[in-house]
Structure 1
Amino acid sequence: MIPRQDAEELAKKLTRAAEDVSADYTEEDVIGEEDFSSQLCGRLKETLRDFKTNTMVWQVRTAESEKGFARIRARTLHKVVEEPLFGADIVMTIEAVGSNFEVKKGFLAQAKRLEQGKRLNTRDYNQLKKQCRDMLAVTPASFVFLYSTTGVTVVSANAVVSQSKQDLWKLKIWDLFVLFLDFAICWVGDTRLQTTSRRSLDDLRVAFDANAAIEVAGKPKARKTATRRRRQIEV
């Protein structure tokens, strides 16, 4: 697994980027769930450009989709309505290789805007449960990112589909830093969610019907080569 110190430093950086997007929401710079995933892509690329931890150096690659809609004719209303095509907002992967470890895995996430103490209305609640079921049909490593003016909180997709009340804040929640740390030290993640030599990052995004795909890639720092200088001794 990724060395603990590197994992902690990486998790802090990822968390800070997500919290910055939440702060943008507070200032009304982020409008909806699709915008959240797009803003997160930008923040991560900016924040982790050549980011160095104790023994590793990191980069972020992203693949985003244009917002799409499916046109569905409602049988009872006899009119055309539009529904988002996407089941998940984000597929996030990590690919890190060191001298004695190799990590390649990912998870799915659905972003949902919800202030603490508030409940989703029935329509949004039922839609979220469907999105969680769709994600869980792909992988158990599926989560909901609740973002608000107070930050970003993580809820398991399993917890959402298993409960019947619309108050998501009553569920067991995770600190975002804990999720990213567990992701880095191999407690969380699905090894099937990764890019391969035949599958690009955008192919991965399309395969899992996500708004955005984010890959965090790490490799060892380049070793500094010491230059030996020969001293000429005059006799």
Structure 2
Amino acid sequence: MKIVVIGGTGLIGSKLVERLRADGHDVLPASPNTGVNSITGEGLDDALGGASVVVDVSNSPSFEDSAVLEFFRTSTDNLVAAEAAAGVGHHVALSVVGSEQLPDSGYLRAKVAQEELIKGSGIPYTIVRATQFFEFVKGIAAGSTEGDTVRLPSSLLQPLASDDVVAAVALAAEAAPLNGTTEVAGPEELHLDEFVRTGLAAEKDPREVVTDESVGYFGAHPQGRELLPGPDAHVAGTSFTEWLDRQK
């Protein structure tokens, strides 16, 4: 079947396109780089023609509160309108575990807004919520660095490899719509500060990671378990240690 991957040239999207093509599907990677823009609508109608499934793994170029909200609202509005016109039967979106529990984060508020638009669109859907990716270590550190020190709280998370995210999203795209939400997470609970400390050490990054419960996490202030998945989440198999070993 024809599957259109919005954000199909990014970290998750490019791997997802490869995975779905290997499974025998006709896959169109859709992004501004390929002439399809979900914000302006450029190329969207042509891209979705004949598609059975649209998978949205796109992301905002700016994480500023108003910009990220505008991105997900505009993009999702344009997508569901084009899908309705094209007769698309399944909208799959990648979201974030714990989004509604951390309303202080502008990014997570935007993801909740995206989810609500999908649910209200009338198009059959599946929302795949994932925990933080192992690949985010450097980005988390960069957003929490002062000089040579990284300050982070000890909040718990259950991160996973992007390849495991891709596998979960691919399965959702190939299955019937849930008209609901599913979660995917890594196999172990890690403290945010220790997660970043271990990742930077593996890169021989000299920055010191200091535990500081007063600092936020991208605008949010998780107190403990808000970033953890629920009991019914799919638990992926790749541990952080295994993933780090593969990077060497």
Q: More strand per residue: 1 or 2?
A: 1
Q: More helix per residue: 1 or 2?
A: 2
Normalised by the length of structure 2, the TM-score is 0.29
Normalised by the length of structure 1, the TM-score is 0.30
